[in-house]
Amino acid sequence: MAGLGSLGCGVGPEGEEHGDESLRKSAVEVFRKLKDLDCPFLEGLYVSEPKTIQELLCSPSKYRLEILEWMCVRVCPSSRDKFSSLKGAQPDVKIQEMVRLGHELLLCGPDDQELLKGCACARKQLHFMDQLLDAIRSLTIGYSSCSRAALESEEKKVAELARQLQESMAKLQGLRAECFSQKAGATAGRVDISTLDQKLRLAVSDFHQLIVAFLHVYDHELGECCHRPGPDLHPCGPIVQAVYQTLTSYSQLLNAVMEVTSTSRKTVEMVRKQQGELTCWGGDNSVTSLGTWAPARGTGAGLAQCPLLRARPGLQEHLGPPRCKS
């Protein structure tokens, strides 16, 4: 914008410049750059007079507006859809979009509609076009450099894959020779060498096609996704993680409580079982066995012959007369 403001115009708003040799040279230079960039609107157009070229580029016309639209699309490819949607619209609408794009590129001011219409002085118009074409050429050189770098990188990858495939083929051939050398004497179930060779070649060919297809998809589709910034994490993430850890600890605690409960229940059952055995041993059965003890038949010895009763005579009176075992 500063460059446009510093340019001087030798005529008024309604006049045209005549006899300015440097101005016509500038017009010829802009026309040459358009041809070098293969502007489609110059195909079949044979103009050589500098004056005619100046009038073509600096006079308001639909043809000039189409050339400017093409230049805007080339310098900003993302605006193609915008200008396509404006097809059939009034020229002022397209001019306003061109002014907005030129202002974003710092090539004109936000209110330079007259410059895009072709009503401003020719020097300013040619200067604007020349800067726009220089930007297009810079982008084209950058794209071509990136394309060459990508092509060279892809060629290196293919060469490396080809080398690896050759090494794999050599190893496979060595294994095949070793395998068949060990089975040279066996005739039953012998594998046909030609059939195995065809299968190996087919497998290696399929593997090579898969690698090439993956590289193509990565370079044209997945490559952009791999360079995207990482996702923005929601601030609730640490809270969810803390809740998850708390629930995990709670679940482990519940499992421990269940194990303790199960162990306590088993302990209670074991204690009850032991108490039952003690009760059975110290109950009526033991007393009955003592009270119903009787001497063996034919011996004539009874309860009175027990050494404990002989030592304590009063104990026999307390127990009563001896009972015979039924």
- Residue partners of 203: CB distance under 8 A and separation at least 6: none
Q: What is the per-residue pLDDT for 141?
A: 81
Question: Tokens in use for 238?
Answer: 């640490």
Per-residue burial over 270-280, b if 16 or more Cβ lie within 10 Å, else e, is eeeeeeeeeee
Q: What is the per-residue pLDDT for 159?
A: 81
Q: What is the per-residue pLDDT for 60?
A: 92
Q: What is the per-residue pLDDT for 241?
A: 81
From 190, 206, 188, select the one nearest 198 (Cα to Cα).
206
Q: What is the per-residue pLDDT for 301?
A: 47
Digitized pLDDT (tens) for each residue of the chain, 326 residues in all = 545 555 656 544 444 444 578 889 999 999 999 999 889 988 888 888 999 999 999 999 998 999 999 999 999 988 888 888 888 888 899 999 999 999 998 889 999 999 999 898 999 999 999 999 999 988 888 776 666 767 777 778 888 888 888 888 888 888 888 777 766 655 444 556 667 778 888 888 888 888 888 888 877 777 666 666 666 666 777 777 888 888 888 889 999 999 999 999 999 999 988 888 776 655 554 444 444 444 544 444 444 555 544 545 554 554 555 554 44
Do residues 56 and 50 lie in contact, with contact meaning Cβ atoms separated by under 8 Å?
A: no
Helix (H, G, I), strand (E, B) or coil at 53: helix
Q: What is the per-residue pLDDT for 66?
A: 92
Question: Tokens in use for 204?
Answer: 């290696």
For residues 11 and 282, what is the distance between their CA atoms, to the nearest angstrom?
135
**Does the model's pTM come out above 0.85?**
no
For residues 140 and 136, what is the distance between their CA atoms, to the nearest angstrom?
6
